[in-house]
Structures are given as C-alpha cells and as structure tokens.
Structure 1
Amino acid sequence: MSSAAAVFMAVSPGVVAAQDDIASDESTESRATTGEIIVTARKREERLVDVPGPITALSPSQITDARLQEPRDLLLQVPGAFLVENNAGTARDISIRGVGTPTLFAEPGVAMYVDEIYSSGFISFPTQFYDLERVEVLRGPQGALYGRNAVGGAVNVISKRPTGEFAGLVRGTLARYDRREIEAMANLPVSDSFGVRFSGLYIDQDKGEYLNTVTNEFIDRQDSISGRVVARFAPAGGFSATLTYEHTDADTPGTALFFRDAGETRRTIRRDTQPRNSYNVDRLAAELAYESETAGTFTLIAGGRDYKLRGVEDTDLSANIIPNLATGDLGQQVTTRFNRVESRNVELRWLSPQWGAVSVLAGITYLDESATGDIATDLVSIRTFLGGGTVPFVLGIANDQSLESWAGFIEADIALADDISLIASARYTDDTKRVNFAFNPTPALAGFGLVPQTANLTRGFNRFTPGVTLSWTPGDANIYAKIQTGFRAGGFNFNVANAANLEYGQETSVNYEIGAKTTLLDGKALIGVSAYLLTQDDVLVPFFDFTAAPGLQGFLDNAGKAKTWGIELEGSVTPIEGVTLGGSLGWMNPEFTSGTFIRGLGTVTPLDGLQLPATREWSFSLNAEVRRPLTDSIDVIANAAYSNRSGGFQDVANAFRIGQIDLLNLSAGLDFGVFDVLAFVQNAGNNRFDIAFGGNRNGTSGVTQAPGATYGVSARVNF
C-alpha cells in the first residue's frame, strides 16, 4: 500500500453541483469543472471544501460511464466503506469505518437517505442507481443532523430534478449472460417555473454463473423495472415545491451459496428448490421550501416507502430428500417468507439568516415504521417419510414490529474570528419499539423439542447526541477538529425461534477526528486528509443458540466495547480540460477492547484484541474520467475505476478471513453529440472475491462470489 500513498495526491472521485432552480444541465456541468463542488451534507448548499468533515461525492457521469450502478461497486470508491450482503439475497447493508449491520433486519450502523427520506430501518436494500444528481457519503457518526443509526456515517442519494431545457435520452445495453438494459429519461420544462422529469430503468438477465443442476436454472438470473417522476414548481418569491415518486418491481436471486469445501462449484449447485426473491417498492418524497432574506429558509420534507418481499429458499441447501435423523439431516426443507416494511418520515427545519457572527439550523423529525416478518419452513422430507405426507411438519414464525421515533436537533455556527468557527450541535431522539412475536411449530414437531412461544413487548430507547467542531479556514484550506457522538437504536431480532433471544440494546459511539482539505491550482485540484478514533460501547455482535431450531439459531446481542483508529485520504485533479483523475486511500484498525463471545457448544471466547467482523483494514481506489474532442463533432470517452480492499474477517471469532478485492472497471467510446456508444468490461481482472457467507452443510460454510469479467456495449441517443 505504500505505492498507493504516493499516487494518492493526484486523485479522487468526481462530483457535480447541486441544482437549486429549474436550471440547465449545461450550467451544472460547467460548475462541475471549476472546482466549485457543491454538496448538501449539512442540510444546506455549500462548497465541499467548506464542510468541516470527510465527505465523498460521486457524479452521475462517473456512476454511469464507469458502470458503478451497483451499490457494491460504487461504495468501493469510498475510503473505509464496504458493502455487506446477506446470503439470502434480501439485504445489502453499508459498512463505513467498521460499522455496519451485523445481521438481517437489524438496526443498521449507517443511515441511508434517498431524496432526504430515511430509507434504512428494518430493511436496507438500495436499488440500482440511475438518473441521479449525485451521491454523498458522509463518514463518521452523524448523530446531530442525521440521528439514529448514523454511527458509521450516512449516505445521501439525490435524484436529478427537472431542468430548464427540453431534453431526453434512451440508452440500451447488451452484456454477458444475456443481460439487456434500457434506460430512458424525458425532461419537460412546462413553464419557466414548473418542470417534470420522467426516468426509468429496465433490466433483464436470463443467464448467470450459478447453475442449479437439479432444476437446470441459473440462480442469479434477474429482471427488474423501475420508474421515477420528479415534478418541481419554483415560482418567484422564494417558494419551491418538489415531488418525487418511484416504483420498482424485481425478481432477483435467492441464496446463491456454493460449498467449495464440499466439492461444489458455481456450475454444479444442487438444490431441490429454486431460490428466488420477488419484491416491489414504492417511495414518495415531497419537499416544500420557503426562503426569505429576513426570516431564513423553512423546509418541510415528507415521504416514505412501502417495501414488499416474497421469497422461497432451499433451507437444507442440498438435493437430499431422504432424512437421516442420526446425523441431523432433515432432508428437503423449503422456506417461504413474506416481509413488508411501511415507513413514514417527516422533517421540518429552519435555517436562520446570518445574524452577525451566528447562524442556526434547527428542526424536528418524526419516523413511523412497521415491519412484518412471516416465515414458514416446511420439512418436506420429514412430512413425507414420517407423516405419510398428510401430517404437517412446519416451523412458522410471525414477527411483527413497529417503531415510533421523535427527534429534535439544533446546530449553531459561531464565527469566533474571520477564519475561525465553532460549530456546536445536539440532537435528542426518543424511540418506542414494539414486537408481536409467535413461534408456531405444528404439533407433530413437539416430539423434537420444538414448542410454541409468544411474546408481546414494548421497549423505549432515548439518547442525547451532542457534537462540537472547531474549523480554521486560512486561505483556501479548511482545518478542523471535531468530537461527535452517535448511537445505533436498540430493538428486537427477527429470525429467531426463541423469545428469550428477541431483545438487544442500543449501541453508542464517540468519534474524535482531525482533518484538513484544500483546493489547489485555481480550484482544479482538491485534496483532503482525516485521522479519527471511533469508540463504541455495547457493540452489537451475532450470537448463536444451539438449542433453537436449525436455521434460526443466530441472534444479535450487545457485547463489550470497541475502538477503531483510522486515516483517510482522498483527492481529485483536473490537469487539463476534459480529464479528471481521482482516488482515495484508507487504513483502519477496528478491534474489540472488552467483552466475550459465546461460540460452539457454549465455548466462551474473550473479544479483547479481536477485529470487528466484516471490516477491511485497507481500502484503496483510483479512477479516471476522460472526455476529449477527437474532431470538431466527436468526443472520445474513457473511464477507469479500480478498487482494492484487504484485511478482515467474516466472523466475530476471527476464524475465517475475507479475501482481497481487486476490482477494475473499464469503458471507452465515442460521443457524436446526439448519439454515443460505449464498450465496457466490469471486473476486468476476473477477481471473484467473496461477497456473502453462510449456511452449513456437513460442517462446511457456503460462499457467494462477485461476478467474473462481464463485458458489453451501451448506446445512447439524446434528443
């Protein structure tokens, strides 16, 4: 990694400016090339260099041309970030600075917002990114402005808003595995003050790498369709209203594990049931804003989402139909699940005008979320061989949860001198969580020690999360020191069979950080560095209850303390017009400092000195964007994005290492103005790194790997 440090000073992800009014796309692009990078990380528009904290902002051109449309690829451009996927294909959870979501349906460690609406909660499943203004990744606890579950950081995904010119595009893509994509957009400026933008993405992939030889179907085939409409009304007088609605339907892979230690390959998977997940999501976001020179800016954000998932899984992960109770082999088992999450989020905030040396941002938020978790595992072979096919042998779980959360926050920015500011912030959050739980094995299973259980619980969690930042801005630099607290809300486990394993408590954190960033070369270059110490109390880790039913033995609980030291660097430079180079480098040492972990059949393992699971010690990225004239009417397009992750363990006990990631995406093409064509290869080095783990067959663990080299061609028509 020493060579990476030397290269760093030239590089970082590209970004674009925010759009305030119904303006043209051309004006946005011109602002992007001047170094005037605008973000809204502190819930107001300001230059990236003026924000006293580490932020990575990713541009739409980088996301599209470098094919960073999967959250996994996109987050590999962010220092200290990593995407953790569950082996059932139902959740993709973001980890930043060693803080993520340790199991399915738990409270996340990184808060995700889509068009300023909270989109984490009981299920965090970011869909593919298209027609975006930008993606902002805030690293480190954001307990004041973003609140609960922002221990590792927060991610803001901002959709493109209508612009002031009529525009449209259609992009078609053909790629390996019989993959077809169609993306379309139409921007309609109805008047000077009102515009509508329509966009959509369709994906159909018939083949893949994971072949189920029993059903002769590819497990990783998929199809999805998503559409979005954004309407914006911005008349004179400081008032604006924006409404965003999006709908997604998808049929995606279920558990795509293969057991390489048992001789299985991606092409020789044997499952008696084809694992599939089907989901649909509706999301709505509304923003009303009023800006006054004397009274400040008032903003009301309201919206939510409705997420439904229906899945079928081969629970035994084999094609065995004959049970062997002596070895614990129950034969064919089929699990069906239904999950639904309904959330409603409202935020009202006020940004004061500049009162001499002081400005204030204050607001209140309300979150109402409910989740349904219904699971039924049919022991097909046991039912057939022991019950004659008529007596049901079914494990049923009904786990319905709800959350009501109120919060108030304030941030005061006080100028102590012309170039020194003190920023004091605080937030108070009050959560009420409820669970209605029932474990309902059919009577025939009573002889196996599986008895019905129920629980109806209500728990309250509250937390005060203050923070303070000192910022010194000599010239074009911003040097800062900050202390920020955060917390992950407590709650209830979902996939458990024992009511005693339902509850877990809240996790708290404190982040100490110093950093600096500056622009160089008349704004053509931006570099930044930060060093931090993140401490965590009552860290959530996975435990196991070996007295519970198979497949339902894992649960979360609080165990001990942890600390993470880290250093992050990132930068960008535009040496000549049309060429942008960027990159980042991160190192961290995430380890437990106290606590114990129970593994095996009751074996107690001290946690002190062990590395936090699903974290990566080193993160490194390089990227390049080129758009240069070949002739008066033709531009050359080229993009490269390289990412590396190394170090880390799958598990709390540090028994299983995570392999190194070396991912290289390349693309090149020609832009003829109204038409362009782009050839690409993703994972050009064919690095099949592990992305998910789990399952148990004869004492071996299964693994899911990233797709190998995938090539294709994309063509776009603009009008």
Structure 2
Amino acid sequence: MKGSTIPLSPWLPPGRPRGWANRISAYWRWDRPWFCDQQCPDGVWTPSGKRDRAGIAQEQPSPGRPMRHTLPALGLLATTIVTPAGLADAAPVEEIIVTARMRAEDPQKVPASLIVLDAAILDRAGISSIASIASHAPGLVVSDPFGRFNPAPAMRGLSQPGTGDEPSVGFFLDGVYISGRSSINMFLADLARVEVLKGPQNALFGRNSFGGAVNLVTNPPGEEIAGSLELTAGSKDRREATGAVGGALVPGKLSARLNVAHKEYGGFYKNSVADGPEIGSEQSTSAALTLRATPTDRLEATLRLLTARDRDGQPKGYYLATNCQPRAGTVALSQYCGEIPDYQGAFAANAQHTGFMRDAQRAALTARYNADAVEVTSITAIGQERNEFNRDDDYSAALLSRAGQLTKRWDGSQEIRLLSLDQGQALTWLLGGSLYRFDNSTWRRNIQYFQGQTSPSGVATDARTDSAALYGSATLRLGQGLAVTGDLRWQRDAKDFASTARNAAGQPIRLSDQWTLWTPRVQLSWQASDDLLAYVSAAKGMKSGGFNDMANLFDAERRFGPESNWTYEAGLKSVLADGRLTANAALFHIDWRRQQVVAASTAGLLNNFYTNNAGRSRSRGVELELTARPLEGLDLHGAYSFIDAEFRDYADPDYRDIPAFAAVGGQIGGLALPRQSRHQLALGADYRADLPLDDLAGFAGGEWLWQSRQYAENSNLSWVPADSKINLWTGLERGPYRLTFKVQNLLDERNPLVAVRFSRPTAAGFTRAWLVTPSDGRTWTVSLRARM
C-alpha cells in the first residue's frame, strides 16, 4: 500500500501525558474522550466532549474482551517493528505508478493523501467487494445494510444521509465514472490495483467525488502469451473459478486479454424456512475482453468490453425494537439506546422472496495520441444495467411484507483532454472537457401481505442527469524543489425527474433544475530531495442537488441544492533506507456546508422523509501509512486514520419531541456524524522464502483490520461496537503452481456491522425499529493456481 500517515501526538490535548493511550487501549475503547479514560464524574460523556443527553452509559469497560482481541493483535503488531540492521539486507519495495492527477506518477511524488492496493494485496487478502477495499484503506468506510444492492461509501467521516443514487465518493473503472450506487461493487475482477484518493477530487474527476475517489484499474493486455487459472473451494459452499489469458495477436500492433470469473458463496447464516432463499448468499459471473492496438508509435487505442451477472439471496439482517425516548404525549418509543447487540435468534425469509438480481454491460474506448510535447486522450464509454431486488421485508418466517424494486439504468460519457508531457520543463498543464448522461428508471414493487395485497404496487420514477464540464490543471516549478499546482473545474448539471407519486394537489410529480458547480484546488509542494515531499493544499468539493418524491411533502420540500466542503490538508511523504521503507503522514480539516441531511416533514406521518440542506458539519483528522521490507522476503504494511467528524449546526426535526433533545429543539450540534469510525487500522505482514527442496517456496502472512464503533444515527444514542478481524494465509509455490490456504476472521468475531433506522412491518402495521446487519463468522478457503 501507498498512503498517508502522521503521529497522534499533534492531536493530544495540551499537557496530557503520553501514556493515556495505553490506559484507554486496556479497555479496547480508543474512542473514549481523553478526559474520561477511567470514570467520568456525573455520568458518561460522548467522544465529542458533550454529555450524553439521554443519560445512557455509552462507554462502559468490557472486561471480557481485552485479552481476546489484544493478544493476537499484539502478535501482528510486533511484526511491524523495523530494525535498521534488517533493512540493510533487503531489496527495495517495488515501485507503483498511479494516475491520481491524470498522468502516470510515483505516488510518493503526488502531493495528496492516497492509498494504493496493488495486485499482491488484492490477491492475498481476497479483496472482492468495496467493503473489503474500505477495510484495507483507513479513512474509507462502507455501509451496506442490504447486501450488494445499495452500498453507501463515505470518506473522512462525510457520511451520507439516505439511500439515493448519488454517493459522496466517486467510483471509477479505468478512469470512467460508474453511475449508481448499486453498480459500484460490480466490476472488481482482474484488477491490477485500486487507487483510493482522499479528499475532494472534483477538480479533475468530477462526478460526486465530493469526499474522495476510488479508481479501479484493470490489467492491460501484454505482448507475451500468458494466462492463469485459479480454482477455490471453501466453507459455507464457497466455490470460485477465475481464468485469464492474453498476449499479442499481431506482434507490436494488436494484443488482447480475456478474463472470466465465476464465484459462489452460500452465505454464513442458514434460513430457518426450509424452502426459503439462502441468507446472505452471493453468486457472480463476469467476463471482460480487452483489445489494445498500437498501429503507430504515436497512437494507442484500448477497447474494453465487460458483462456481469449477479444472483444474491436474502440479505442478512434482523430487527431490533426501540427501547427508549418516547415521543411527547405518547408511549411510543422512538429510539434504541445503547450498544447494538449480537443476534442469537434464527434468520428467516419466505420462498416468495428471491433476493437480488443484476445484469450489466459496459464498454469503453480509450485512444491516446502522442504529439511530441502533448498527449491527446479520448475516452468514450457506455453502460447499461438492469437489477431487481425482492426482499423479505419483515425478516421473519411470517409472510407479512415484500420490499421490491426494479431498476433500469443507462449512462454514456465522452471525455477529451490534452496533457503536456513532463520533459523537465517549468510548466506542465492539462486541459479537458466532458459530456455525461445518466438515465435511471425505478419501479417500486412492494407487496404488503398483511394488508391483503397479492400483487406488487408502488411508485415509478424516471430521472435524467445531463452534465457538461470543462477543467484544467497547471503546475509551475518555482525552483529549489518548490512547485505550485492549480486545478479548476466548471460543471453544469441539469436534472429532470418524473414520478407517478402525487403531490398535495393530486398531480403527478414533475421536477427539473440545474446547477453550476465551480470546484478549485490549490497545492503547494516542496520536493526537499528525491526521497522527501512536503505539501499543503486546499480543495473544494461539491455534490449536485436533487429531488424528493415521498408522497407526504410540501411543495417547498421537493428540491434540495448542492452541498459543498472546503478541505485543507498538509502532508509529508518519505522514502528511507534506500527505498526499503516508506512513511507518509497527512493532517486534514474539512468545513462542510449546506450539508444534505434527511428530515421528516409535518405534511404527514408516513412517507414523509426528505433531503434538505439544513446541516453544517466539521471533520478533521490524521492519516498514517507505512510500508517496509526489513528482511529479504518479508513485507510489512500498515495504515491508520483518526477522524473527528461532528455536526456543527443541525436541528433534526425527528428529535424535537423526544426527551433527550426537546429542550434544545432537536439541535444535535457537537454530536458525531453517524456510520463512520473515529479510528481505523490495517496492519499486515507477508513472508516468502525458498525451501530446501527443488524449486519449492513457501509463504505465510496475516493482517489485522480494526475499526472503532460507529453511531447508528444522528442522535448518537445507539452504536455498533468496534469491529476486529484477523485473517491469515499460507501456502506453497513450485514453478507455475501455487497452493494457498486462507482463514478469514480467525477469532470468529460476529459484531454487527451496521444498524439503520427503519419501518418494521408487523401484522398490526408498521412500527419503528432498527435494522441490523451482522458480520460473517470464521470461514476458510483452499485455492490452486496455475500460470502459463
């Protein structure tokens, strides 16, 4: 990994002894406030320093957990100790190239915080979802309460309010934007690397890279004929087969690469309904063909065609009843207070519910022409997808409710850019323009069996986004290693929205609007030596507005505008010990304004949630990253993020009539943003050595992935506990063959991953509850790979 890091000490309170972290870690609770590492007077305090308004004990020590988590973790942590003597005997860490600034660069020379997961990390850790990408890239979190249907990524604490189609982190496949949240976790096969770019990337990437961007880079065709086949089997009915073959069709002129993958997972939890769908199962089949033509020394064209098919079962989950905070004048409890508990009951889904189905195709043509000092690039891309989910919405053996939705989407884009080639001149520059269209049609197909319904019904919507953008970047070398870079993007977004839902006047909803977004970025860097880079930057991030289609809303609540943030960052990147050690650090501060938040309208009691721009928040933190090769064959890597993200000003209308917030009119300023971890940590080690047998080598490795608790929602009254995973692998290699044994989640941790406020269907009607997603327990796999 390549990334960003910095010590915790700059964020310690003045005069606080450096031993405070040791006392806190003894409780395995790194998110306690510094002044409350043992027992707070007058009750319990929240991490922001505010006393919990509900009086709920949010951070009681858990005596049974420390040794269970800490001893294995300390074993892995010990392997990251680097000795200068060992470093002297090791080869340098392999170099990686990234395209964070639309040109190929060493990530250690890029004045921005980023993490790169290369092919070796993706392979050994078995990364096959955006959630597993996030666990290896501290600072990025993913909430996915409905399986692969609608994941919600967030960077540096900028968590999203709802479940729309506009994520706050842009996902790109070979530089092409992936439209729609349900599509971002689909094309993860045959990756060469994953670039996780932190902070606003709007200036160059555009399209919802409000908090950051993730660029998935695929393997290109090569000139030599080569291929691989890997077969995997494991617990919980895991079966996988992946293969790739490629090489020159016309030497020096045309090469190709074909990748095919099929993966099945039966789900960790069993369905107690005999003929019901599997719980948490996933099945994916994908294929990709890449053609690369170089008809002349100056011209290169790459065409990539992809198709993917997913068939998933019922998402794993269970309901948790509310237990506190009755609404004024009623006995109806509105909140769950305390830590979200593990689930000990049975999982259930009826046979009438089929899960999640998805089919998608994408095509992208990238052409580059080298005109001596300038490179001209054209990227043309189209994509289409059809998906449908059919979820047992009561998560029980009773046939009460089905939640369903059919989605059809299409997107197309055209981008042209001119890039000055870096030949050592004082000024380098980039100019570009793009056009983008996204059509998204949905039809809700719900069946409320408890109300006597027998066929699906629901609102149908058609939404179109048209976007045009011009952008540019210029870097001026000032001498003595100093350089200043300025980026600027102008973007015009126009949206049209039509729904069969009706407004208060009984008319179908028809809405349209457009917004102009200006997103600058300025970076000042100092390359003190080939091995040391220091930088500061300021960047503006923006995300478009949109529309609300719930039935019970006032007309003024139907639209919401763009949100914006200014992110200020300072960082240091270093390469030490002749390239065998890299250490990076970054500090950041984010001012988030016109924040898009979810509110409840007074126009009705149900179907009344909407998004508006009533919030303001702040996030700040530190990021660390370290890679080392202390001995030949031993690779160590670690990354850490500390994020202090809180609301600065927001009166949540849902809290105005509950005891904890009634006195302050629902004001939640000072509370932590939900669904993000204050601390994230990823540590890993790999060792490979030749064995005393002909052409036989052995390897072993492991990783510890940990994140602190996350608040379930804005009130901070409930939270999912810290999540800790230890994964191990070992195997043998001989010539082109490799045998690998892996154990995921060695300690069989099953803490809940995410909890969201939800409407639970019952025989008597809908009631408020928390929908909780559990973690899978321990699993294992055995893989055999052959290369040619």
TM-score by length of 1: 0.88
Which of residues 486, 492, 499 in structure 2 aligns to 1:437? 499
**Partner of 2:346 in structure 1?**
267
- Per-residue CA shift, 1:533-577, capped at 9, x if unaligned? 011101122223486585x44432222211111100101012233
Alignment of 1:534 onto 2:594: no
1:214 CA displacement: 6.2
2:133 paired residue among 61, 66, 74: 74
Q: State the Cα distance separating 1:239 from its structure 2 match.
A: 1.1
**1:306/1:156 CA distance change after superposition, 3 Å:** same
Q: Does 1:488 align with 2:557?
A: no
> Structure 2 residue aligned with 1:636, among 698, 708, 725?
698
Cα separation, 2, equivalents of 1:224 and 1:486:
34
Tell me, in whole angstroms, the C-alpha distance in 1 between the residues paired with 2:170 and 2:551: 24
> Aligned in 2, Cα 1:525/1:235: closer, same or farther, shift over 3 Å?
farther
Q: State the AA in 2 paired with 1:334.
A: R
AA partner of residue 393 (structure 2): T
Secondary structure of the 1:90 match is coil
Cα distance in 2, alignment partners of residues 215 and 605 from structure 1 = 46
Distance 1:123 1:406, change over 3 A: farther
Deviations for 1:1-27, whole angstroms, at most 9, x for unmatched residues? 957999999969xxxxxxxxxxxxxxx
The one of 54, 58, 62 aligned to 2:121: 62
The 8 Å contact of residues 106 and 493 in structure 1, kept in 2 or not, is answered as no
CA distance in 1, matches of 2:274, 2:211: 42
Q: Which amino acid aligns with 1:463?
A: L
Give the structure 1 partner of residue 196 of structure 2: 137
CA spacing shift, 1:438–1:93, aligned 2, 3 Å: same
Following TM superposition, by how much is the alpha carbon of 1:253 offset from its aligned partner in structure 2, in angstroms?
3.0
SS in 2 for 1:161: coil
Structure 1 match to 2:67: none
CA contact (8 A) 1:396 1:440 kept: no
Aligned AA (1:370): D
Q: Please state how far the C-alpha of 1:716 moved relative to its aligned partner.
A: 0.8
Q: 1:181 aligns to what?
A: 240
Distance 1:627 1:553 in 2: 58
Q: Give distance in 2, aligned partners of 1:84 and 1:414.
A: 40
| Structure 2 counterpart SS, 1:61 | helix
- Structure 2: how far apart are the matches of 1:214 and 1:226? 30
**Where does 1:507-518 land on structure 2 (aligned, <5 Å)?**
507-518=563-574
Deviation at 1:142, TM superposition (A): 1.2
2:466 to 404, 423, 444: 404
CA deviations over 1:319-340 (Å, ceiling 9, x no partner): 446xxxxxxxxxx233331111
Corresponding residue to 1:338 among 406, 414, 417: 406
In the TM superposition, 1:672-691 aligns within 5 A as: 672-691=734-753
2:426 corresponding residue in structure 1: 357
1:247 and 2:302 are equivalent in the alignment: no
Deviation track 1:607-654 (CA, whole Å, cap 9, x = no partner) reads 210111111100111012223222441121223121111033111121
| Superposition map of 1:87-236 within 5 A | 87=146, 89-121=148-180, 123-127=182-186, 129-190=188-249, 191-213=251-273, 215-236=275-296
Report if the CA contact (8 A) 2:277-2:350 is conserved.
Answer: no
Q: Is this contact kept in 2: 1:96–1:152, CA < 8 A?
A: yes
Counterpart Cα distance in 2 of 1:212 and 1:601: 40
1:574 has 2:629 as partner? yes
Q: SS where residue 209 of structure 1 aligns?
A: coil
Question: What is aligned with 1:281?
Answer: 360
Could you tell me whether the CA contact under 8 Å between 1:496 and 1:554 is conserved in 2?
A: no
Query: Which residue of the other structure, out of 691, 697, 713, is the alignment partner of 1:651?
Result: 713
d(CA) in 1 for partners of 2:608, 2:772: 19
Alignment correspondent of 1:303: 381
* 1:517 CA displacement: 0.2
The question of 1:291 aligning with 2:382 is answered no
Q: Secondary structure at the match of 2:120?
A: helix
In structure 2, the residue matched to 1:467 is 521
Q: Which moved more, 1:201-210 or 1:659-668?
A: 201-210
User: TM-score under structure 2 normalisation?
Assistant: 0.80
Pair 335,565 (structure 1): closer, same or farther in 2 beyond 3 Å: closer
Q: Equivalents in 2 of 1:494, 1:138: separation in Å?
A: 33
Unaligned runs of 5+ in 2: 1-7, 9-20, 31-73, 82-90, 323-341, 659-664, 761-766
Aligned-pair CA distance for 1:268:
3.9
Inter-partner Cα distance in structure 1 for 2:480 and 2:781 = 54
Change (3 A) 1:246 1:457: same
Instruction: Work out the CA distance in 2 between the residues paired with 1:200 and 1:55.
Output: 30
Q: Could you say what the CA RMSD is over the residues aligned between the two structures, in angstroms? A: 2.8
SS at match of 2:203: coil
> Quick one: which amino acid aligns to residue 381 of structure 1?
F
What is the rounded CA distance, in whole Å, between the counterparts of 2:447 and 2:321 in structure 1? 27
Deviations 1:488-516 (A, max 9, x none): 11112467665745422111010111101
Query: Any idea what the Cα deviations from partners look like across 1:238-283, whole Å, max 9, x if unmatched?
Result: 2101111111111113442213559974634355743511001111
**Aligned AA for 1:716?**
R
For 1:19, the equivalent position in structure 2 comes to: none
What's the counterpart of residue 16 of structure 1? none
Shift of 1:527: 1.0
SS of 1:87's partner is coil
What does residue 445 of structure 1 align with? none
For 1:327-382, what per-residue CA distance to the aligned partner results, in whole angstroms no more than 9, with x for missing partners? xxxxx233331111211122111111458411111101111001011103233332
Residue in structure 2 matching 1:671, options 727, 733, 740: 733
Q: Distance in 2 between matches of 1:53 and 1:488?
A: 21
User: 1:614 is matched with which residue: 660, 663, 675?
Assistant: 675
Contact preservation (8 Å) 2:152, 2:181: no
**Kept in 2: contact 1:298–1:350 (CA 8 A):** yes
Deviation at 1:459, TM superposition (A): 0.5
Amino acid corresponding to residue 452 of structure 2 in structure 1: R
Question: Per the alignment, in what secondary structure is the counterpart of residue 612 of structure 1?
Answer: coil
1:413 aligns with 2:467: no
Q: Give the Cα separation in 2 of the matches to 1:9 and 1:277.
A: 43
Whole-angstrom distance in 1 between the partners of 2:98 and 2:572: 17
Q: Hey, what's the Cα distance between the residues in 1 that align with 2:522 and 2:514?
A: 27
Question: Against the structure 1 CA distance between its residues 193 and 660, is the aligned structure 2 distance closer, same or farther, given a 3 Å change threshold?
Answer: same
CA contact (8 A) 1:10 1:582 kept: no
* CA 1:573–1:161: 2 relative to 1, 3 Å: same
Q: How much has 1:473 moved relative to structure 2?
A: 0.6
- My pick for the range that moved more, 568-577 or 3-12, is 3-12
> Which residue in the other structure is 1:423 paired with?
485
2:644 to 589, 601, 604: 589
Distance 1:125 1:453, change over 3 A: farther
CA distance in 1, matches of 2:273, 2:751: 23
Letter in 1 for 2:231: G
Give CA-to-partner distance per residue, 1:170-213, whole Å, 9 cap, x none. 11111111110001111122122321111121012345314142
Structure 1 stretch displaced more, 620-629 or 214-223? 214-223
Cα separation, partners in 2 of 1:11 and 1:414, compared to 1, 3 Å: farther
Structure 1 residues 437 and 548: CA distance shift in structure 2, 3 A: farther
* Preserved CA contact (<8 Å) 1:433 1:459: yes
The equivalent of 1:447 in structure 2 is none
Match of residue 37 from structure 2: none
- CA distance in 2: counterparts of 1:9 and 1:245, whole angstroms: 45
**Structure 2 residue matching 1:62: 3-state secondary structure:** helix
Mapped to 1, the partners of 2:310 and 2:180 lie a distance apart of 20
Contact 2:501 2:550 in 1 (8 A): no
State the match for 1:379 in structure 2.
Answer: 448
